Amino acid sequence: MRVGPRLHPGLEAVHDEHHALVAKAASRYAGADLLHRQVRPASLQGPLGVTRQPLLLCLALRVVISPYNTPMQADDKRVGLRSRLREEALVGLFVKLPGFEVIDCAKNAGFDFVVIDREHSALDERTVLDQIAYGRALGLPALVRLPEVDVPVIGRLLDAGAAGVQVSDVTKREQVDTLVAATRFPPEGERGVAPSVRAGHYGRVPVSEYVHAAPDPLLVIQVERALNREELRALLAAPIDVCFIGAVDLSANMGSTGELTPDVRGRITAICD
């Protein structure tokens, strides 16, 4: 039975089509049925008495089906990124500007991932969280660079769906151990379990699947100082995915700011070896 005022005759077919689409979505996601019931009575009268109900139903449908309908589907991008890193050279982009357009540009330019920069930019946390969400919707993995291992911030970024974390100026194994613990669920780590967040698909998947089936975030440590061989070995022995060499900071710490002198090149080669 139809609820609400009668539609203009020319919109009858559109009305029925939208009801059918929402009903189909409801079979895939129980929340759609709730949206369906809430929207149907909320008809608004437009010019000449034509209801705007079909537009409202369309908006409800977009909420249901965008951007991911299959649980853990967005996390497949993270798994693919890690496996690709082991087999090929990938190209990413540092994001230092607010807004969605820069994420759009990175996706359309063909970048494999983005690193949203919270070290050398004025981006606030709300902006970063929104950019992470937009990247997920586009299928573009987004890591976040932080100036230090900040456990509460890391937890919020991962809850929002960040593909990984990059930490600058790592010099001690203890920093890496804290980073690993902050990004792993118990018993391997100390990350808090909150299945109601975006990374947990807002409770759409069982807690056990969220905790055990979700891939671990990518971990990137940034080396910016002339560490000795033992210090480097300790860092690289940790379960990290990438060691990023901050060449400019490294050159500054070696007394030749911005210049890749033979000593700086030699140090970079030693790190890579």
Q: How far apart are CA 123 and CA 267, in angstroms?
A: 32
**One-letter identity of residue 257:** T
Q: Which of 8, 19, 120, 201 is catalytic?
A: 120
C-alpha radius of gyration, the chain, whole number: 24
Q: How does pLDDT run across 65-122, given as a tens digit for each residue?
A: 334 445 555 555 666 788 888 889 999 999 999 999 999 999 999 999 999 999 999 9
Give 3-state DSSP helix, strand, coil % of the chain, rounded to 5. 50, 10, 40
What's the average model confidence in pLDDT over 126-137?
96
Task: Of 12-16, 52-56, 121-125, 129-133, give the lowest mean pLDDT range.
Answer: 52-56
Residue 120 appears among annotated catalytic residues: yes
What's the average model confidence in pLDDT over 204-227?
90
Q: Is the pLDDT of residue 210 over 80?
A: yes
Q: Max alpha carbon distance in the chain (Å)?
A: 80
Q: How does pLDDT run across 160-191, given as a tens digit for each residue?
A: 999 999 999 999 999 999 999 999 999 999 99
pLDDT for res 41: 38
Mean pLDDT computed over every residue of the chain: 79
pTM of the model: 0.71
